[in-house]
Chain A
Amino acid sequence: MDHSVTPQYKIILCWGSSCQKLSSKSILDRIHQKIDELKMGNNVDIILSGCLGMCSKGPILIINPGYYIYGKITPEIVGEIIEKHINQNKATAAYLIEEDHLFNRFYRIFGDVKFYGRQMRIALRNCGIIDPESIDDYLSVRGYESLAKSLALFTPNQVINEIKASGLRGRGGAGFPTGYKWELTAQEKSSEKFIICNADEGDPGAFMDRNAIESDPHTIIEGMIIGAYAVGAQNGIIYTRAEYPLAIDRLHIAINQAKEHGFLGNNILGTNFSFNIEIRQGAGAFICGEETALIHSLEGKRGVPRTRPPYPATKGLFNKPTVVNNVETWANIPVIIQEGAAWFSSIGTKNSKGTKVFAVAGSVINTGLVEVPMGTTLKEIIFDICGGLPDNKTLKAVQIGGPSGGCLTKDHLDIQVDYESFAEIGTIMGSGGMIVIDNKSCMVKLARFFLEFSQSQSCGKCTPCREGTKRMLEILERITTGNGKPEDIQKLLRLGNTIKKTALCGLGKSAPNPVISTITHFRNEYEEHINEKKCATNDCSALIVYEINDACTGCSACIRICPTKAISGIKKNKHQINQNLCIKCGDCFDICAFKGITRR
């Protein structure tokens, strides 16, 4: 980890009941005194946190950035710790607790790998380092401690307050503050409430849910149990894709183990709190990632969304109050409870706290899952962590948020990853798909790919999405096959904006994003396709023209391979291609040994 200390500090003092008893008040006085002495008042925030859960090592003091945890501090020593840390950039090793970060073990194993070393693994902290089928392994990394802590030390309200204070926002798409969602459900008077884990992975090309479940199923289960305790739910459901058999197996194993250990079932850990989890498999409908559609699916109905309000938090599954969060959100819960809201909220940006997992794919050296603090720039993710583009290719665009997201250009590389900054530039966090695109890819075709996906996955309920995406796709199809009309760009924008403003659900509203953003940033490509019937990247095969040039020796190899008999000519004379018969398969281009065929 990086040990240089930067000038803006947060000093977090544990204000839990156990630490307080151990003379925290005098420690606090001493801290204030020391900061005044150092004249650092403007550079240091002092935060009193709720219980940080490391009571055995209390009193606890944390200095950020860097998340340095000092334990067993006294009023006598605290001045020295602060002076050394802040003034001399040195941590006082004797009081430093390093072992206990929930997420530290990952770095002890993988920290020297560049790809991992620059990440910050909270949700994925155990992925790859524990045996997902062993509850003992999970317990050895302090698994279910957060649950125990919640039940023993917190009232349900305190859990909610902790999550609220952490600033955690839903990782599935729109980023609704998780704690507030829970509070709404907790406030509902109902004898029956539900907890749902949405593991119906959103974007095509994002696979963090699968990874998280397959590598660390207990974390998600623990998060759900804590959530159930907080809102007063009796039953939980994990809704996962049927395409993930391994994930389902491991969840079954984990649930059974948790039951055997008394973490699930009746009277959890001897309290009067009871909670059960069942697994339900989807049946192949992207739309079921939308929470109201998911709920309909769980009710055994067609997975179509419904209008909101009422929100599931008040009227959800079987019309009962229901908390729906996605896998990544649930995976964050145990860490927040363990390490404290203050710690969690010290990571990230003003309005987006914690980390985000991205599935990076496309034209990039290291593809895979990347978990970084909110506020990390795209440049850091793509170039520092993922090693940049292969074969010296040039970055053309970054597509974020899958079919619901938008395309950014190299001008956006310094943008910090968070909900607000993404929204400002017309994309969304989504569940975190990130596709790196080099200049060999056609943006019009890419927009068509995403829209084709959205259109094929439309549930068909509301008019704008059902009919509108179809018409947009037809327009894109004609543009990419050389039949575009000058007014088409305007039509796409008009339809796109109407759909955005009027569709019933989030997926419908965001379906035009890939088209609108590519028009915004790559309008010239659209114009080229429409006006010149040309695709500069040769990605749109229908727009490619093959012609025979003067290098042709008349060997007839192309005549023999052409599947549609589009090429003719006399041996040893230059041949010709009949453009009406040519299907642009490129076989002639590939077989010609004399570069006698031009592709344009």
Chain B
Amino acid sequence: MISTIQNDAKLNSLRAYINSHKEMTRNDSLLIRVLQKAQEIIGYLPPEIMNFIAQEMSIPRAQVWGVATFYHYFFLKPVGKYIISVCMGTACYLKGAEKILKAFKEKLNINIGETTDDKLFTLIEARCLGACGLAPAVSINGTIYGQLDEKKAYNIIKKYINQSK
């Protein structure tokens, strides 16, 4: 499995990142950070990448898999270019986050955790973006959009679709 991607530049940069901590004691404690890095480089965590990390870091595969599936941050399947993360914190909830989530679901025709067929959008829930003053809020690839209603939500999608054309 590994051999097919051995020469991949992305894999090399991941290897370099792991190697940069080789000398550190207890560097296996950096697993989450390495997985974050891998996701940053590859976009998600396919099994062969987790396998690679497991071997390079001497962490049993079942443990790597256990960590990758525990934390919401990690994607086990390919994701869209834009990750829409709808805040479901209390402030947003009280100001209608459910409706915003529904609007995104309907407009993109996907459920939470799914990606649109054109691989443009992935929809996820966030537990709180810490932008309570802007409730209801969503974050798209790190940019916060606040005080949303259904119409604004549609416009944002439109904006991103146009951008990617």
Contact = CB atoms under 8 A, between A and B. Distances in A.
Q: Do chains A and B touch in the complex (CB under 8 A)?
A: yes
Interface string B84-102: 0000111111100000000
Contacts of A286: 127
Contacts of A154: none
Contact of B73 (A283, A300, A302, A435): A283
Nearest to A214: B130
B91 A362 contact: yes
How many B residues touch the partner, as a band? 35 or more
B91 A285 contact: no
A542 B96 CA distance: 16
B129 A368 contact: no
Contacts of B36: 242, 281, 283
A435 B35 CA distance: 36
A239 to B, nearest CB: 11
Given A300-B29, A300-B67, A207 B74 contact: no
A243 B91 contact: no
A505 interface: no
A318 interface: yes
Interface stretch (A136-144, A197-205, A348-356): A197-205
A301 B67 CA distance: 6
Contacts of B73: 242, 282-284
Contacts of A368: 133
Contacts of B93: 204-205, 449
Interface string A357-383: 001011100011000000000000000
Among B26, B72, B89, residue most surrounded by chain A Cβ atoms (within 10 Å) = B89
A243 B26 contact: no
A207 B32 contact: no
Contact of B130 (A210, A367, A402, A457): A210
A203 B70 CA distance: 19
Interface residues of A, number: 47
Nearest to A359: B132
Interface in A174-211: 201, 203-207, 209-211
A285 B72 contact: yes
A449 B128 CA distance: 14
B84 to A, nearest CB: 14
B135 interface: yes
A209 B132 CA distance: 13
B67 A457 contact: no
A441 interface: yes
B71 A303 contact: yes
A243 B139 CA distance: 9
Nearest to A205: B90
A283 B142 contact: no
A433 B30 contact: no
B59 interface: yes
B126 interface: yes
Nearest to A441: B94
B126 A361 contact: no
B94 A204 contact: no
Contacts of B31: 300-301
Given A207-B130, A242-B73, A286-B127, 20 more contacts: A205-B90, A205-B91, A205-B132, A241-B130, A243-B126, A245-B142, A283-B32, A283-B35, A283-B36, A283-B73, A283-B74, A284-B71, A284-B127, A361-B90, A361-B132, A363-B94, A433-B90, A435-B91, A449-B90, A457-B127
- In the A-B complex, the 4 residue pairs with the closest CB atoms: A205-B90, A283-B71, A300-B31, A284-B72
Interface of A: 201, 203-207, 209-211, 241-245, 280-286, 297-304, 318, 359, 361-363, 367-368, 399, 402, 433, 435, 437, 441, 449-450, 453, 457, 459
7 contacts: A283-B72, A286-B127, A297-B32, A300-B32, A361-B94, A367-B91, A367-B133
